[in-house]
Amino acid sequence: MAAQTENQMDVAVEVVQGLERRMTVTVPDHDIESNINKKLRSIAKTAHMQGFRPGRVPFGMVKKQYLEQVRDDVMTDVIAATCEQALLRENIRPVDRPALQSRDLRDDSVLQYVVTFEVFPEVELQGLDRLRVEKPVVSIGGEDVDRMLDRLRRQRTEWHEVERAGRSGDRLVTTFDGRIDGEPFEGSQAEGLPVVLGASLMPDGFEENLVGLKAGDDKVFEITFPQDYRGQAVAGRTARFSVHVDSVSEPELPEVDDEFARSYGVDEGGVDQLRQAVEENMRRELDQKVRSLMKEQIMDGLLENNPIEVPNALVEREIDRLHEVMTQGAPQPGSGARTDLPRAPFEERARRRIRLGLLVGRLVQVNRIELDRDRFDERVRNIASTYEESEVVERAYREREDLRRDLEAVVMEDQLVDVLLEQIEVAEVAKDFFDVIEPPAA
């Protein structure tokens, strides 16, 4: 019966807009009426109505009470079966389950229904021959290791209160109130906030105005936020701050000696062994960063050369996923959740991820790349090792379909990058270690 129905179906597909399609299906199947009657007679065998014994209710009364429900059930079954057949016949792969717009059963025999859906875009790769990648080439020297050791020292800074006036490098504990046109703004008030002079963590001009102040001093000053300041509500505006200094402390850095080395897990070899361990870690970090930078350039180039439309259904799904990740965090046991984040800020990122996913998927197909299971396992172990309950996290990435699918996609991207780096132009450029690891802000 199914094959006969498929052959008799009349299917018309039209473009609504962009990737949206409307499909009208007409099913002239005389079995619809017989199926309705068959279900009604099945119901009549056990139907209960006042004044009649079960199974003795007249068929006409059963039909009058249950016809609409049965007709609805039969139409739903027919639509489910024939819609899939129609999509296969028309060689259409919808992004999501088609949405039923209307249906009409004429004379209990001819069913016509309309569904809408989005289709995947045709991805025709362009511009691969124009891809260019810059590969940073870095020589890690003794000065770079010295600078990294100095950072490690600063992580162990001890602060000691002093009675003198604050100077660059000191830490002032402050209480302040800032206002624009007499009104407070986001981040304009704080109590007991440590401010390190010269760290440039506060708005331009704020730390400079604290130089020379002692514990107990008060000062009122104005600063003007730059036009491109990240807080758009205050960008380009002038704020008046009233600041009280609670205390002034100067830093004391530890000496780089054997004890310092032991504090970082180097039990033998002292400072020399610590320097070697630091340099090895710097090289690992550098390798990861260089690869990340090259991958980013490749992906940006693919997006620039291949402007494709993306289905809204996929974008909405990706927004849901990003929103869930942001509100729930990584799969770490006991993590809290936030549910107050708006969806709009995720849209641009979602569209970019969907476009990249489609492009990468096509490239993986063209280059016949299959998932490297060993590489996937190594990535899972590396991620899990950063959590206390590593076994729980590793099991989550292997058993949860969403986590596993996302990580498999990342590994496939890495494999694709390896393939593309053999095909495109790579220009080596000498760089400083810290400029690569911490590129200057644009």
Domain termination site, one of 118, 142, 175? 118
| Cβ proximity of 366 and 123 under 8 Å | no
Q: What is the C-alpha separation between 47 and 53, in angstroms, rounded?
A: 9
Res 441: pLDDT: 55
Give per-residue pLDDT as tens, 256-277. Answer: 999 999 999 898 899 999 999 9
Same domain for 277 and 248 = no
pTM of the full structure: 0.73
Plot region of 167 (φ>0 → left; ψ -120 to 50 → alpha; else → beta) = beta
Res 341: pLDDT: 66
Same domain for 293 and 248 = no
Which CATH number do you get for residue 397? 1.10.3120
Q: What is the C-alpha separation between 226 and 162, in angstroms, rounded?
A: 34
Q: Strand order of the sheet with strand 10-17?
A: 10-17, 20-28, 110-118, 99-106
Which CATH number do you get for residue 56? 3.30.70.1050
Same domain for 281 and 418 = yes
Q: What is the C-alpha separation between 175 and 159, in angstroms, rounded?
A: 19
Structurally, how many domains does the chain consist of? Answer: 3
Name 82's Cβ contacts closer than 8 Å, sequence gap at least 6.
Answer: 5, 6, 9, 25, 27
Same domain for 391 and 275 = yes
Structural domain of 274:
269-333+340-437
* Res 334 pLDDT > 70: no
Give per-residue pLDDT as tens, 184-233. Answer: 998 899 999 999 999 989 999 999 999 999 999 999 999 999 988 876 78
* Res 338 pLDDT > 60: no
Please report whether residue 305 resides in a domain: yes
Res 86: pLDDT: 94
Give per-residue pLDDT as tens, 123-152. Answer: 989 888 899 999 999 999 999 999 999 999
Same domain for 405 and 362 = yes
Mean pLDDT of the chain: 88
